[in-house]
Amino acid sequence: MNRTPHIAIVGATGAVGIEMLKTLEKRHFPVGKLTLLASARSVGKRLPFKAADHTVTELTRDSFKGIDIALFSAGGSISREFAPIAAAAGCVVVDNSSAFRMEDSVPLVVPEINAGDVRNHRGIIANPNCTTAITLMALYPLHKAFGVKRIFAATYQAVSGTGAKAIEELERQVEQVVRKQPVTRDVYPHQIAFNVLPHVDSFLPTGYTKEEMKMENEGRKIMHHPGFRASVTCVRVPVYRSHSIAVNAEFERPVSLAIAREVLKKAPGLDVVDDPENKQYPMPLFTSEKYNCEVGRMRLDCALDNGLCFWVSGDQLLKGAALNAVQIAEELLR
């Protein structure tokens, strides 16, 4: 791999694409050359990177000649069409969509957990689901200490996980409610302002949603733990940024709170914020735009054997997407 690689961002004008650009700059990634790719309607837009403006060009089948690493965040259908083309052109794709996550030949990577899997790539590496990544930042260190069997979890997912139009919808609805105007909706099936929706992604015949099953399926692959089980309810909340997850985890071995705390304090990419007496616990307000996730509200579970309850919060545009992708690119350079 070139030490100063030619980097492309596919979906450069989207929320995650813009965060990828900022993250490359903030982490001083050695970008030799930068190409910004998007759909025809975004062509000609200019985005800042390292004190210069870079023009967005159209994504085509010929876009990948000479590119070393392409960070994709343009949705599953674009990834399915263009990621194999990019890989065939000799480019390594880091894909943020769900298109390739469960394919055996594609590593699914959270660098703090399974960075070594990057070496097994055949041109495409997958970024996990944002909620899975944030949860595993706290769960995996505990798994190493106590051996996780299963979790029960409820998520509290920010609207920016749906995209820019969802942020606009929440802003508009808050104003409509405050002004006692009729509430209009385009993005979600129900009003999101002053409400919570127990519905993220599409429903499966089992009654779970696709999003809910990602925690079990992706968790097994990332942790190399085929017996891991997760029963999850995913909930959309009227928060702009940062997902939070309440987790009840059951382990093989007896859990000690003191050991759990020590393990989590040493975990990379994670801050322990756990002082309930002084009202200190993780919150989306304070994890937004931060690289590290936060864990707190730790207590022994009164309803599970060898159980631990915890609450984790993290920026789903960063650790859940852009930051994780850039960290994978950093692993590629190593």
Is pTM, for the whole model, over 0.85? yes
Same domain, 183 and 60: no
- Does 113 map to a domain? yes
In the beta sheet, which residues pair with residue 275? Answer: 280
Same domain, 144 and 267: yes
Distance in angstroms (rounded) separating the CA atoms of residues 311 and 299: 10
Same domain, 169 and 265: yes
Distance in angstroms (rounded) separating the CA atoms of residues 294 and 270: 6
Distance in angstroms (rounded) separating the CA atoms of residues 261 and 265: 6
> Band of the pLDDT at 1, cuts 50, 70, 90?
confident
Q: Give residue 7's pLDDT.
A: 98
The rounded radius of gyration (Å) of the Cα atoms in the chain is 20
Q: Give residue 175's pLDDT.
A: 98
CA distance readout (Å), 277 to 8, 242, 280, 297, 324: 47, 24, 7, 11, 33
120 HSE (CA, 13 A, CB side) = 12
DSSP for 133-156, written as a single string: HHHHHHHHHHHHHH-EEEEEEEEE
Distance in angstroms (rounded) separating the CA atoms of residues 317 and 17: 9
Q: At what angle do helices 15-26 and 323-333 cross, to 10 degrees?
A: 50
CATH number, residue 240: 3.30.360.10
- Does 300 map to a domain? yes
Q: At what angle do helices 130-146 and 210-223 cross, to 10 degrees?
A: 40
Indicate if 130 belongs to the active site.
yes
Range of the domain at 101: 6-127+321-333
- Does 17 map to a domain? yes
DSSP state of 41: G
Indicate if 243 belongs to the active site.
yes
Mean pLDDT of 159-183: 96
Mean pLDDT of 148-177: 96
CA distance readout (Å), 115 to 108, 163, 195: 9, 28, 39
Percent of the chain with pLDDT over 90: 98
Same domain, 299 and 312: yes
> Band of the pLDDT at 24, cuts 50, 70, 90?
very high
Same domain, 167 and 28: no
CATH number, residue 58: 3.40.50.720
Same domain, 234 and 305: yes
Same domain, 157 and 298: yes
Percent of the chain with pLDDT over 70: 100
Same domain, 40 and 106: yes
* pLDDT tens for each residue of 59-96: 999 999 999 999 999 999 999 999 999 999 999 999 99
Mean pLDDT of 311-315: 98
DSSP state of 119: G
Same domain, 203 and 76: no
Kindly report the average pLDDT of the chain as a whole number.
97
Distance in angstroms (rounded) separating the CA atoms of residues 59 and 54: 15
- Does 312 map to a domain? yes
* pLDDT tens for each residue of 224-273: 999 999 999 999 999 999 999 999 999 999 999 999 999 999 999 999 99
Number of domains in the chain: 2
Edge-first strand order for the sheet with 46-49 is: 46-49, 52-58, 33-38, 6-10, 69-72, 92-95, 124-126
| E strands, the chain, in order | 6-10, 33-38, 46-49, 52-58, 69-72, 92-95, 124-126, 148-157, 229-236, 243-251, 270-272, 293-300, 307-314
Sign of the torsion formed by the C-alpha atoms of 310, 316, 320 and 326: negative
Same domain, 174 and 235: yes
pLDDT surpassing 90 at residue 164: no
Same domain, 111 and 219: no
pLDDT surpassing 90 at residue 299: yes
pLDDT surpassing 90 at residue 17: yes
**How do beta strands 69-72 and 6-10 pair?**
parallel
Same domain, 112 and 137: no
Catalytic residue, from 6, 91, 121, 130: name it. 130
- Please answer whether residues 246 and 262 qualify as being in contact, where contact means their C-beta atoms are separated by less than 8 angstroms: no
- Does 1 map to a domain? no
Mean pLDDT of 263-289: 98
